[in-house]
Amino acid sequence: MTFAPMSGVALDAPAPVGFAEKIWRINWGLVLVLTAIAGVGVLALYSAAGGRFEPWAARHAVRYGSALMLMLVVAMVHPRIWLALAWPIYVLSLLLLIAVDVIGKIGMGAQRWLVVGPMQIQPSEIAKVAVILVLARYYHGLRKEQASQFLYTLPPLLVILAVVGLVMVQPDLGTAMMVLMGGGALLFVAGVRIWMFLAAGVAAVACLPVAWSFMHEYQRKRVLTFLDPDRDPLGAGYHITQSKIAIGSGGLFGKGFLKGTQSSLNFLPEKQTDFIFTTFVEEWGMAGACVLLALFSLVLIWGFAIAFRSHHHFGRLLALGVTAMMFLYVFINTAMVMGLLPVVGVPLPLVSNGGTALVSVMFACGLLIGVNVYRDAQLPRTR
């Protein structure tokens, strides 16, 4: 693909954006909403620790602060750079995923972390962002007709499935699902034919028995438990049952801050990570839950708005990819703790305790805001 010829109507090209303008273009409202969500996280973690800042709430606040800085820095980076870095980042994430599979440290029955100096990094979190970047870059370089052709759909499929495969091996069903569905959403908006999705759906159903045979015993148990929670109410169904009890007993307005009984008495598993929503909702009730979901919805709406306003396809796809990822995080996590999905280990972004997910989400939000900052940048359609 070549550059579109730069004709005399170069007046169309926007004037270069100054630094002040860039700062102005940052979606400060979005930043506020994100901070509000992180604030909910601090509140919930404070309560989960029995009314103490240690060990989670204080660290969460500090982490959010640093991640916020990172996000703003990322937002100021020109999309051209991301276009150039997309493949290297993706390849790096693949290497890290392989590394984690090989020498990964055992944690929570799954190998997910790599220890780099004082940090534990979760390559799958990097991979999520990397997939979005690569797909956005790929479809940015395609014409509409090409995008709809089957042959041109194979490379992105490979990009997605490589990550999904490596993540499944860990095994991390939640992340695999997210990458698959997030990637699928990107392909969908990029213009892949509908029949291909239908075909993929049929293939997926056909592959179910194979997937079943590859699953770990505990994963099978989770799926079976999800399908029939009464199968083993004290064993595998215990998490879901306890979570539902905590949420349900919260009622309309909750038991009050620090007055939750189920989470503070350790009936809830993983109350500070995957089940933080439960902890929060038990104390703040349906009202609190709706406020939190509304805040997330605002983030999504912002994401869509940014995508629609972008003048370049890369920005559109990037913004939508990040938005889809955000949605999947929120939906999978909350549906899981309410017993609508199997327990798969997906954190609630900005609320759950845990550094890597926070950084990757904020990094993604930085990309999103960057799309808005550089919405009228001119990007070459390179392959």
Partner 1 sequence: MKHFRKGDGERSGLFTRRALLLGGAQAVLLTALAGRLYQLQVIETQRFATLAEENRINLRLLPPSRGLIFDRTGQPLAVNRNNFRAMATSDRGRGADVLVERLDQIVGLGETEKNRLLRELRRSRNAQPVVVRENLGWEEVARLEFNAPDLPGVFIDLGQSRDYPEGELMSHLVGYTGRVSDEDLAGRDDPVLQLATMRFGKKGVERSLEDDLRGRAGAVQVEVNAVGRVVRELDRTEGQPGSNALLTIDLDLQRFVAERIKDHQSGSVVVMDVVTGDVIAMVSTPGFDPSTFARGITQAEWRDLLDNPERPLHNKAIAGVYPPGSTYKMVTALAALESKAIDPYTRLPCTGFLELGNIKFHCWMKGGHGSTNVTEAIAASCDCFFYEAARRAGIDRISDMAQRLGFGRVSELGLPGESAANQPSRAWKQEKLGKPWQHGDTFNLGIGQGYMTATPLQLAIMTARIANGGYEVQPNLLLAKATPREELAPPPPRIRPTAPSLRLNPQHLQLIRQGMTDVVNSGHGTANHLRQRDPAFVFAGKTGTAQVKRITERERDMGITQASLPWHLRHHALFVCYGPVENPRYACAVIIEHGMAGGATAGPIGRDVLVETIKRDPSRRTDGFRKMASR
Which positions lie near partner 1, rule CB under 8 A? Answer: 4-7, 9-10, 12, 143-144, 147, 185, 188-191, 234-235, 238, 242, 244-252, 261-262, 265-268, 281, 285-286, 289-290, 293, 297, 300, 304, 307-308, 312-313, 316-317, 320, 324, 327, 331, 334-335, 338, 340
| 365 close to 34: Cβ distance less than 8 angstroms | yes
Smallest distance, partner 1 to C-beta of residue 264, A: 8
Smallest distance, partner 1 to C-beta of residue 205, A: 20
Smallest distance, partner 1 to C-beta of residue 140, A: 9
Dihedral (CA of 358, 364, 367, 369) sign = negative
| 3-state SS class at 114 | strand
Smallest distance, partner 1 to C-beta of residue 34, A: 18
- 218 or 238: whose CB is closer to partner 1? 238
- 67 or 348: whose CB is closer to partner 1? 348
- 68 or 189: whose CB is closer to partner 1? 189
- 116 or 234: whose CB is closer to partner 1? 234
* Interatomic CA distance for residues 6 and 268, integer angstroms: 61
Residue 187: closest CA among 168, 160, 163: 160
Write the CA distances from 66 to 29, 175, 204, 251, 368, integer angstroms: 19, 24, 40, 35, 18
Smallest distance, partner 1 to C-beta of residue 20, A: 28
Residue 45: closest CA among 247, 256, 276: 276
DSSP for residue 11: G
Residue 48: closest CA among 298, 234, 345, 246: 246
- As given in the structure block, the two tokens for residue 236 are 């595998």
- As given in the structure block, the two tokens for residue 55 are 């060990």
Smallest distance, partner 1 to C-beta of residue 352, A: 17
